Amino acid sequence: MPYSVVDLYQKILPKTNCGDCGYPTCLAFASMVVSEKVPLETCPHIDKTLQARVQQELDRQHAAGKWTKRDLAADALVWARQRAASMKIEDLAARLGGEVVPGDHGPVLRLPYFTGHIRIHDGQIQPEEDFTLNRWEQVFIFNHMAQGGSASPSGTWRALEQIPNTISKITSMQRHVEQPLVERFNGRAEALRKAAVALGAQDLTDADGSADAVLRFQPMPKIPVLLKFWNAEPDEGFAAGAKLLFDETICEHLDIESIMFLCERIRELLCETDAAQENTPT
């Protein structure tokens, strides 16, 4: 039986997201194994006998050309859509925020998403404004629909290491989110603030005063994310730093994979927006 990304993730990998394979999550590693033929043994935490057996099947499916990159996102999307399929649109607004509005074929959930809105109905997610959602973003949103609890943000911020069962992700967060932000924005906290505001973030730098940039993102109504950023101060012996903080209710709304995806998406959007702003004449 060929292994899809989800098969590999659910049935074979440890799901600890420790990052020892060089990828931020087990799901990301699974997608590389299935599409790019990264050997399964790159994960050192799989029983050797199991690993050899599964690798044989992977070799067969690679030879047969199964599971192209295009298939991966589609596969994950089918999985996430199935997770969310039993949710009634009418019940979702109370859990996730947003509002239920009438549509041509029944109720539609209208949700704020960064600076725009998305409309969810009949297993479809459509942007209301002129932007596109890639399939991994749709996976993230469906997972939020399936998991989202009713708790509203409490205003108490937690670092990733203060959230239960996330120890294994700390290295991934540093390597794939915080360090790339430091590399792009060190000495350019003003540029970071400008890019964040363009993405709808609230600039709390002056009011908070604890960092060179303090930015509160609101990707979705129940999911605020705070980014603190410090420029390097070589004369005072301080290295540059970036830290993402989450409301203490985050685990009611997102699984760990989705938290990682969201943070990587924020990093990606900040870098893209900054590049666009740099190329825009003032």
Which spans of this chain sit near ligand SF4 (rule: CB under 6 A)?
Answer: 13-14, 16-21, 23, 26, 29, 43, 45
The angle subtended at Cα 257 by Cα 180 and Cα 16, nearest 5°, is: 100
Q: Do the Cβ atoms of 244 and 226 come closer than 8 Å?
A: yes
Contact 154, 247 (CB under 8 A): yes
Q: Which is nearer to ligand SF4, 44 or 281 (CB)?
A: 44
Minimal distance in Å, beta carbon 260 to ligand SF4?
A: 11
Q: Which of 242, 245, 227 is nearest to 166 (CA)?
A: 245
Rg (CA), the chain: 20
User: Please, which residue, 44 or 102, has the CB nearer to ligand SF4?
Assistant: 44
- To the nearest whole angstrom, how small is the minimum distance from the Cβ of residue 112 to ligand SF4? 32
Q: What is the nearest approach in angstroms of ligand SF4 to the Cβ of residue 278?
A: 34
CB of 7 to ligand SF4, least distance (A): 14
CB of 258 to ligand SF4, least distance (A): 16
Q: Which two tokens stand for residue 154?
A: 């409490």
Per DSSP bridges, beta strands 116-121 and 106-113 are antiparallel
Of 31 and 205, CB closest to ligand SF4: 31
16/202 with CB nearer ligand SF4:
16
**Residue owning tokens 């996976």:** 139
DSSP 238: B
Query: Number of helices (H) and strands (E), helices first, in the chain?
Result: 12, 9
State in angstroms the smallest separation of the CB of 20 from ligand SF4: 4
Which of 176/193 has CB closer to ligand SF4?
A: 176
User: 172 or 231, CB closer to ligand SF4?
Assistant: 172
Give the Cα separation of 71 and 3 in Å (integer).
12
**Which residues on neighbouring strands pair with residue 199, listed in sequence order?**
none
